[in-house]
């Protein structure tokens, strides 16, 4: 006999996919913007992985995705706090448990029996991802309006400091997303739950 268990609320599923789209567009267009004025002269991104065609086009895509990410992210964060979703899914968390789960994951021994409960490594990754996206948005605003938002830019070491922070926050987001996609590929039954919101469990 099987029964269905609710894993992901509708709001979480909708904001997840919108965030995924916004991040892909922002990263691809951001790489094209980076190539127009590289931070590191010896490094640029392959043109085939960029979006926008030219600097002006990339900027348009980037700003459009930025507002989508910011507004959608705000909905997700407010929902997560007000509904208790963050408290239930992401807390509590301890450094010891995170290190232990990462070690198990590297050895291919991380348990995934109950998909309705995040392990410590997942909780840490999602919390870091949220913080990295916040830093990405704030540093992006400081780059976009360095004069109007000069106090914000000053906190990041000025315009060039904000660019560096933006680049490294982007790199962290891309790393987490790549690991996330790899884990979904390793445990494919997690994918349908982010579409239907339910998990079929035998009893």
CATH number of the domain that 128 lies in?
1.20.950.20
160 has pLDDT over 60: yes
Mean pLDDT of the chain: 90
* 50 CB neighbour count, 10 Å cutoff: 21
pLDDT at 201: 67
For 178-191, how does the pLDDT look when each residue is reduced to its tens digit (9 = 90+)?
999 988 888 888 88
Query: Mean pLDDT across the stretch 153-167?
Result: 95
Whether residue 187 is contained in a domain is answered as yes
pLDDT at 119: 85
For 75-127, how does the pLDDT look when each residue is reduced to its tens digit (9 = 90+)?
999 999 999 999 988 888 889 988 998 888 777 776 666 777 888 888 999 99
- CA–CA dist 200, 203 (Å, integer): 10
pLDDT at 59: 95
Whether residue 157 is contained in a domain is answered as no
- Domains of the chain: total: 1
Whether residue 149 is contained in a domain is answered as no
For 47-63, how does the pLDDT look when each residue is reduced to its tens digit (9 = 90+)?
999 999 999 999 999 99
Buried b (16+ CB within 10 A) or exposed e, 63-96: eebbebbbebbeebbebbeeeebbeebbeebeee
Give the tokens for residue 9.
């609320």
Torsion, CA 62, CA 65, CA 66, CA 69, rounded to 10: -150
Please tell me the pTM assigned to this model. Answer: 0.88
Whether residue 43 is contained in a domain is answered as yes
pLDDT at 105: 78
Whether residue 162 is contained in a domain is answered as no
- CA–CA dist 31, 51 (Å, integer): 8
Whether residue 75 is contained in a domain is answered as yes
What would you report as the CA-atom Rg of the chain, rounded to the nearest whole angstrom?
A: 19
Query: Mean pLDDT across the stretch 137-144?
Result: 93
Domain containing residue 129: 2-138+168-202
Whether residue 25 is contained in a domain is answered as yes
- CA–CA dist 115, 117 (Å, integer): 5
Q: Are 139 and 156 in contact (CB under 8 A)?
A: yes
Q: Are 89 and 56 in contact (CB under 8 A)?
A: no
pLDDT at 202: 60
Whether residue 143 is contained in a domain is answered as no
Could you give the percent of the chain with pLDDT greater than 70?
95
- CA–CA dist 118, 131 (Å, integer): 18
What backbone phi and psi angles, to 5 degrees, belong to 145?
Answer: -125, 65
3 has pLDDT over 90: no
């Amino acid at each position: 006999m099987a029964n269905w268990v609710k894993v992901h609320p509708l709001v979480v599923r909708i904001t997840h996919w919108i965030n995924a789209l916004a991040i892909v567009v922002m990263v691809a267009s951001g790489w094209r913007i980076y190539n127009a004025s590289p931070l590191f002269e010896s490094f640029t991104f392959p043109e085939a992985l960029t979006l926008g065609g030219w600097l002006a086009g990339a900027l348009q895509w980037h700003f459009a995705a930025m507002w989508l990410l910011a507004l959608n992210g705000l909905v997700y964060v407010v929902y997560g706090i007000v509904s208790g979703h963050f408290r239930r899914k992401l807390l509590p968390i301890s450094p010891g448990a995170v290190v232990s789960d990462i070690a198990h994951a590297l050895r291919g021994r991380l348990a995934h029996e109950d998909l309705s409960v995040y392990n410590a490594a997942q909780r840490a990754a999602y919390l870091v991802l949220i913080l990295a996206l916040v830093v990405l948005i704030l540093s992006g605003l400081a780059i976009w309006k360095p004069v109007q938002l000069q106090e914000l830019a000053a906190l990041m070491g000025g315009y060039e400091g904000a660019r560096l922070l933006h680049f490294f926050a982007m790199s962290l987001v891309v790393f987490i997303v790549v690991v996330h996609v790899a884990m979904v590929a390793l445990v494919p039954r997690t994918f349908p739950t982010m579409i239907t919101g339910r998990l079929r469990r035998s009893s």
